[in-house]
Amino acid sequence: MAEQRQAVARPLSPHLQVYRFTITMAMSIIHRITGAGLYAGSALVAWWLIAAATGPEAYAAFQAIAGSWFGQLVLIGYTWALLHHLFSGIRYFFWDEIVATSPESANKLSWAAALLGAAGTIAVWAVIFSMRGAI
């Protein structure tokens, strides 16, 4: 008769309940989400370009939607996603070049990328609103 093997206590695979949630984890998750959001935003850019090429009626329809409060909110979100993804990608580039890999410097770089994405979005839309005379 074949011997039965004793169950060996093997370590469990680590998961989110094991680790403390950190800024680098959050930035990684948000980087993926913004990357997916940029796909949808690219459809908006394509719609804008097609409407501009089609004629005044199509562009007016796009402008009516993009100029609404909801359209403005979507465009601000797209701008944030674009800038956040950009600065987060630069953060990954630094890590690929073996720069700022200690936990302290990685956290500082993550916070810098998050703040630059938010500040850049505010700056871009401040310029847009001031050009319109809304500020």
Q: Is the pLDDT of residue 93 over 70?
A: yes
109-126 burial, b if ≥16 CB within 10 A, otherwise e?
Answer: bbeebbebbeebbeeebe
Decide if 54 is inside a domain: yes
Decide if 12 is inside a domain: no
Question: Assign residue 69 a region: left if phi > 0, alpha if psi is -120 to 50, beta otherwise?
Answer: alpha
Decide if 29 is inside a domain: yes
Contacts of 122 (CB under 8 A, 6+ apart): none
Helix (H, G, I), strand (E, B) or coil at 117: helix
pLDDT tens column, 77-88:
999 999 999 999
Decide if 17 is inside a domain: no
Decide: 24 and 110 in contact? Cβ < 8 Å: yes
Decide if 18 is inside a domain: no
Decide if 11 is inside a domain: no
Decide if 53 is inside a domain: yes
d(CA 121, CA 103): 27
Contacts of 95 (CB under 8 A, 6+ apart): 101, 106
- Name the domain count of the chain: 1
* pTM for the full predicted model: 0.80
Decide if 81 is inside a domain: yes
pLDDT tens column, 26-77:
999 999 999 999 999 999 999 999 999 999 999 999 999 999 999 999 999 9
Domain containing residue 45: CATH number? 1.20.1300.10
Residue ranges making up the domain that contains 84 = 23-132
Question: How far, in Å, are 57, 111, 118 from residue 28 at the CA level?
Answer: 42, 12, 16
